[in-house]
Structure formats: structure tokens, C-alpha cells
Amino acid sequence: MKKQPTTAYYRARYHARTFFIGAACILILLLAVFRAGATALYAKQPQSLNQEIEEQLKSGNLALHFPKTVNNYYTSRQYTPIWLVKEPQVQNTWAAMLMLDCVLQFGLNKADYHANELLYTTLHDILEQPGQISPVKQARFEIMLTDALVTFINYIHYGKYNPLLPAGKIDNGTADFNTTRLLDNAIKSNDFMAVIITAQPQNALYQALQARLHTVAGVQLGDCYEFPEKDVRKMALNMERLRWSAADTSTFITVNIPSYTLTFRHHTISDTFKVITGTPKNPTPTLNSAVKFFTTAPAWKVPNQIFAKEILPRAISDSAYLSEHHYSIYTNKGLLADVSRSGLLKIAKTPKLYYAQQSAGCDNALGQIVFRFANPFDIYMHDTPDQSLFAKSKRALSHGCIRVQNAAQLAKLLLINDGQSTKIFQKNLLAGITKSFYLKKPVSLAITYITCEVRNGALVYYDDIYGLDNSLDQLMYQKNDATLKLSEN
């Protein structure tokens, strides 16, 4: 990994209100200029605006990012306008417009927020000359601004490219976060912007990147203050990944693949462990789950790919291999298989009909402990008999599972955090007795792929070992759209 030198300038601390200091100044001026216009709009606003909003939404002809969410929101309001309103509510309209001007500071793209339609000149005309702007135009502006804010909230909360929660799933209401409730709360509050940005992840890693990005990414194109665009992009795409993670609880485990580290955060304490992750050929997947239990002296059911490509060829070439490494081979029905040379050659023809299991022992591939968590990839975290591998700086060495240094210490911390004694655990560990220890409160687990973070005030980078930065960068920035650029550097 490499470090970028820190400076006093880049150590500016984050506070929600600091995002929009410059924008707030503009907001004050705009409010002063257009206060009278808003009053005129309210006085002259035709009753047909509500009807026009309803008709446009029901037509399905609008290019909305979250059409069901927007439609349901207006239905619940009897299609009453949110933004084209009287004083003092119109202040939220200007705040919303200015917030959309600042999306670059969140690592987001203006092109996603109807930038070509939500123009200040259009809003000016609606507020200043409401009688000369048709209800069709007014309703369209109103709806587009709502969709833009809903999109902004969803993207800073879930991310735009969340592999588990695409926009369609969020729009169907299957997610656990209520976007329009937050928008309602913001509209009713005295600080619209501050409420909206609470949708972001609250974990320290994300917040530190957000604070740094705010100091280097301006409001307009080219406002990156001589900070390299590639570094701004790196921060933005890692913030996007962190939005996919569910690690916002006070107690959780984070495994970061590129840094080869596991961090157990409990209360105000953070304990860090070195880990070994999957090779580029057998990558460790990113996921969200929870550690529910761990087992001492575990037996290992060998994954079929390892059985067919590694265990079986070695057993055929060395008749003592299976016994020396404590392997047994079974049929898929659980019956012991013939492991003579002829039997092994027969198994090699249809290896998917068999599996190997390694009994507990000092050379068991899982070591002394395995940590279990639900996931569709059949991976787990475990100890390893080969502790020397943790001395390597590049530790992408496994078949996809995560090997943990000092796994016994992690197990003890989990028990202590769960309010359990460690005596029985230590006794079973020393005696090599197989026993599972269940946590009363499962601990959230996030396996992440973060290639950039702020540490001790400095920006730290990790190798992109699986080449995933490039693919996400292509999605976020390589679309030949000028509005996607963060700077002109």
C-alpha cells in the first residue's frame, strides 16, 4: 500500500453543515430575490396543478428513476405540490436545488438528477411568472425534482450499483429504509440539507472518506482544487462500495479483502487481525451476514473443486496421502468409499458423486477453530496450521475462505462481548474437543473490498488485487458524458 502525505488543509473535520457553506450563501441571496415570486405563485397557482401532477404520473411517460416511489408519495399527499409552494416552505425548494448542485461532493454524478430539466431559470420563471407557465411545465418540474431527491437519498444510502439492491427492488419497496419518510422529515425540519444527508452510512470509514472528498471536490466541474482526479474517483468508488455494506451497528466484524485485515468493532474498541483471502483465481466474495457460532476442533468437508483437483490426484499418486492427512472419502449418500488405487481411479471419473472429509487434528486445514455465517458461497472464516503465511505482505492465497491469525483470540473476544465465560472454550480448545459455541446475539459481518481509506489523517491505498476498481470506474465514469467528470485535470 502507499500513503499520500497529509496536510493541515486536508485534515479539515467533517460536519454536516459544512457541505454547503458556499451554497448556503447563494441560497440566502436566492431567497431574498424570489420571495415575492413564491408568494405570487401561491396566490395564482391554478387548482389544475394537482390534477396535472396526477395525470402525468399516471401516464407513465416520465423518465423517472424511482417511478413507484414517487407515485406512491404523491398519492399519499393527494398530489399536492411539494416544491412549488408558498413561503416559508419554498426555502426547501432552493435547498433541494442547491443540494443537487453538490452531488459531486458525495462522489455522485449530476447526470442522474435530471440536470437538463431542473434549471434555475425554469424555477425562476415558475416563481416569478406563474400565470405564464403552463400547469404541464410546472407539474413536470415538480415531479422531476421529487424524483431527483428520492434518487439522491437512495444513492447515498444504498449506492447506485448495489449488487443486492438494484433500483427496481428498492422502488418496489422491498428494502428496509423509508426514503419518503426521510424526505418528509427533512421538509418539516428547520435544516433540510442536514436531515437529508443522514441517509448516508454512519460508520467511521465512510464518514472519513466523505469528509476528505468534501475538502477536494467542489460544486462545479474543475473544482477539485488541484487534487488528482484519479484519487477523487478512487474515494468516490470506495464510498459507493461502503454504501452496499450493512456494517452500521455498534458491534460488527469487517473483513477488508485488499488490506488483508479483519476488524472487530465492539462498543468503542477496535481489534484488528491479519487475514488471508482468496487468490484472484478463487476470489473471496463480498457479502453481508452475521457470525452466529464457531466450532473448536472442526472436521473439514472438502469443497468439491479442491477434492477433484487437489486431494484426489495426490491420493492416486501416493497411497499414504489420505491416512497421513486424516482424510476419508464418502459417497454423497454418506457411505465410506473404496480408496484402493482402483477405487480412486473409479472415483476420479465422477468426483461429484463423492466428497472428502478431514478429521480434526493439528494439520487440519481449518486449524483449531472455524467461524460460521450464512452465505450462498459456502465460505467461512477459520484458523490455519500454517501461521507463517501471515508474515507475507500480500496474502491473497486461499481458495476463497478467510484464514484468521490469532483466531482463538477473536473467539474469546466474541464470547466476552456476548457476556459468556471463556473457560469451557479454552478447555475444549486445549483438549482438541469438537464443540460449537453459539452467540446469544449474532455479530454482523461485512466482507468488503475497499482499496482506499483515511487513516490517521492520511489517504491510504491498497492494491486492487481482483481488478474490481476498473470495472466499477467504468460504470461510474467511463460513459463519455461530460457531466460525469469530477474535474478537468
433-456 CB burial, b ≥16 within 10 A, e <16? eeeebebeebbbbbbbbbbbbbee
Query: Lowest-pLDDT range, 84-88, 263-267, 404-408, 436-440?
Result: 84-88
Mean pLDDT over residues 256-282, rounded? 95
Mean pLDDT over residues 82-103, rounded? 90
Domains, the chain: 11-203 (no CATH), 259-296+368-448 (2.40.440.10), 300-359 (no CATH)
> Which of the pair, 50 or 224, is modelled with greater confidence?
50
State the pLDDT confidence band at 216, using cuts at 50, 70 and 90: confident
Query: Lowest-pLDDT range, 116-120, 205-209, 243-247, 457-461?
Result: 243-247
Q: 46 pLDDT exceeds 80?
A: no
Return d(Cα 356, Cα 76) in angstroms, integer: 59
Angle between helices 179-188 and 135-157 (to 10 degrees): 110
Q: Which residue(s) pair with 276 in the sheet?
A: 403
pLDDT tens readout for residues 193-211: 999 999 999 888 999 999 9
**Side chain identity, residue 44:** K
Grid look-up 399527499 returns: 77
Q: How far is CA 107 from CA 60, 112, 336, 447, in A?
A: 30, 12, 57, 22
Write down the pTM of the prediction: 0.80
Cell numbers standing for residue 342: 482402483
Return d(Cα 323, Cα 73) in angstroms, integer: 66
Angle at 15 between CA 165 and CA 20, to 5 degrees: 85
